[in-house]
Structure 1
Amino acid sequence: MSRTTTIRGARALSSARDVLRRLYPSDGLLGSIVDRRDVPLPRGTWAIFGVAFVGFATPVIGFVELAERIRSGAKLPFDQPVMMWLQRRHSPRNTRIARAVTELGGVTAVPLFALATSAYLVSVRGSRRPAALLTVSLVGSTIINSVLKALYRRARPTFFPHIVQEESFSFPSGHAMASAALAGCTCVLAWPTRWRAAVIAGSAVYVPTIGGTRMYLGVHFPSDILAGWCVSLAWVGEVATIMWLMDRLDDAPTPMIRRRETV
């Protein structure tokens, strides 16, 4: 290789580095962490990461197990017995209750509650983080649900006539995902407050109730509900973990994430 070629290669490499620096400045997230690796992560970060990993991996494994069986056409042994048990509880009164309650996990009630909660927390706490958590979690769960429905294309159950009509595919349940995402976000936001126990207890009633109404109405298999819970639990857990880390890094004595100064 000639000396001229070597010089040209060095100049090209230097130019490429200059371009990359302009596109990805060193004060970005990754650049800060790499450049300041001597600064320790906030205390408790690895423990939170461990919990987050387990909390993410467990529901993902559960969803994969359900999805593989559904893709292969296998019948899950608990789907029909649970739905037939619920059908034996059908009555005009129970049906009216189920039709009303199921709307609390629908496309109108969940966004309205999330919007009201975000506005309240922003006005009281003066922080946009709650709104960001709710928006990313709920919008993300809706997108994920649409993608998974189109991917698996599972037909609705036909064990008995549907009490309400649904046009989309069955797996996973959109109501189960939306209600679980909303409850998960609410628990995260209430965790450092005195409302923690009440919110967790309310969520433990709200989420299964919405799932139960979908099966009672005949439009979802129990496996649809379980899959929806698994996906939302994993998604909200990861979003909350990332936002927790961002908060901790912002509050660190020597911030690892350095914001660019505006001129």
Structure 2
Amino acid sequence: MSRTTTSRRTRTLTAAKDVLRPLAPSDGLLGSIIDRGQEPLPRGTWVVFGVAFAGFAVPVIGFVELAERIRSGAKLPFDRPVMLWLRRRHTPRTTRIVRAVTELGGVTAVPVFALTAAGYLAYVRGSRRPAALLTVSLVGSTIINSVLKLLYRRDRPTFFAHIVQEKSYSFPSGHAMASAALAGCACVLAWPTGWRYPVIAGSAAYVPAVGVTRMYLGVHFPSDVLAGWCVSLAWVGEVATIMWLADRLDYVPRLLSRPEA
């Protein structure tokens, strides 16, 4: 290839970058990726991408399998037996406990806790990305849940009288999605700290407990709860991965530009 051709191609690429640069500013995640040139990605990036992909693909496949069966009108073999088994365990005392526990995954407790934690992280600790993770994950899960309910329009179970009244559609469970999103964010934020294992243990008890209460109260099928967990796991995992990558891509250029002592 002649020197003239190479020079012309270089000038063309430079002109194209100048035109596109206002559309892709150098700050932020997109700009960091575009402006890196030949600079390698931070160490461990591809491992995180692999884990994130698996963490996204597995729950999405699970949700799709459940959704396809529901859309086709097929009855899932475990829905009715599980709910009837829980119905046989109804007692006044257990019902009072269940009604209290189910509120921990409701439309009041989860947003209040998430917004309080986000405010604390942002204004007291000065950590905006953890606050953004909580806000984006919880608000996003709420929007996704509303869209999916309207898309599938599954009626609530009718195996026995509902102990609480719900007016929206059944699939997927909003309580299951909200509690799983909150617990997922808590695990992500606690992972690099000494609170990792207590938070994981608490989440492992909290999420199933809220899910079981929805079935006990007669307002959700087990498949509704499983679908909610799948969607929230995929959503929070991808939000956390994007924010991790943004943090890494912002950190490396600052590290490289730091003046030597």
Shorter-chain TM range is 0.7 to 0.9
Matched residue, 1:149: 149
Cα deviation, 1:95-130, whole Å, max 9, x if unaligned, reads 111111100000000011112222333345321111
Distance in 2 (CA, whole Å) between partners of 1:46 and 1:162 is 48
Secondary structure of the equivalent of 1:204? helix
**Compared CA separation, residues 202 and 29, structure 1 to 2 (3 A):** closer
Check if 1:233 corresponds to 2:233: yes
Partner amino acid, structure 2, of 1:129: R
Matched residue, 2:75: 75
Matched residue, 1:95: 95
Matched residue, 2:164: 164
How many pairs does the alignment contain?
A: 243
Matched residue, 1:196: 196
Identity over aligned pairs, percent? 81
Check if 1:44 corresponds to 2:38: no
Secondary structure of the equivalent of 1:218? coil
**TM value normalised by structure 2:** 0.87
Partner amino acid, structure 1, of 2:96: R
Structure 1 residue ranges without an equivalent (≥5): 1-14, 257-263
Secondary structure of the equivalent of 1:157? coil
Secondary structure of the equivalent of 1:252? helix
Question: Contact (CA 8 Å) 1:69, 1:75: kept in 2 or not?
Answer: yes
- Mean Cα displacement is larger for which, 20-29 or 68-77? 20-29
Distance in 1 (CA, whole Å) between partners of 2:58 and 2:156 is 26
Distance in 1 (CA, whole Å) between partners of 2:95 and 2:172 is 23
- Mean Cα displacement is larger for which, 24-33 or 96-105? 24-33
**TM value normalised by structure 1:** 0.87
Secondary structure of the equivalent of 2:90? coil
Distance in 1 (CA, whole Å) between partners of 2:51 and 2:254 is 25
Matched residue, 1:184: 184
Distance in 1 (CA, whole Å) between partners of 2:111 and 2:48 is 29
Distance in 1 (CA, whole Å) between partners of 2:80 and 2:134 is 34
Secondary structure of the equivalent of 2:220? coil
> RMSD of aligned C-alpha atoms?
2.1
Partner amino acid, structure 1, of 2:224: D
Cα deviation, 1:141-170, whole Å, max 9, x if unaligned, reads 000000000000000000101000000000
Matched residue, 1:12: none
Question: Contact (CA 8 Å) 1:122, 1:131: kept in 2 or not?
Answer: yes
Aligned-residue offset at 1:185: 0.2
**Compared CA separation, residues 100 and 40, structure 1 to 2 (3 A):** same
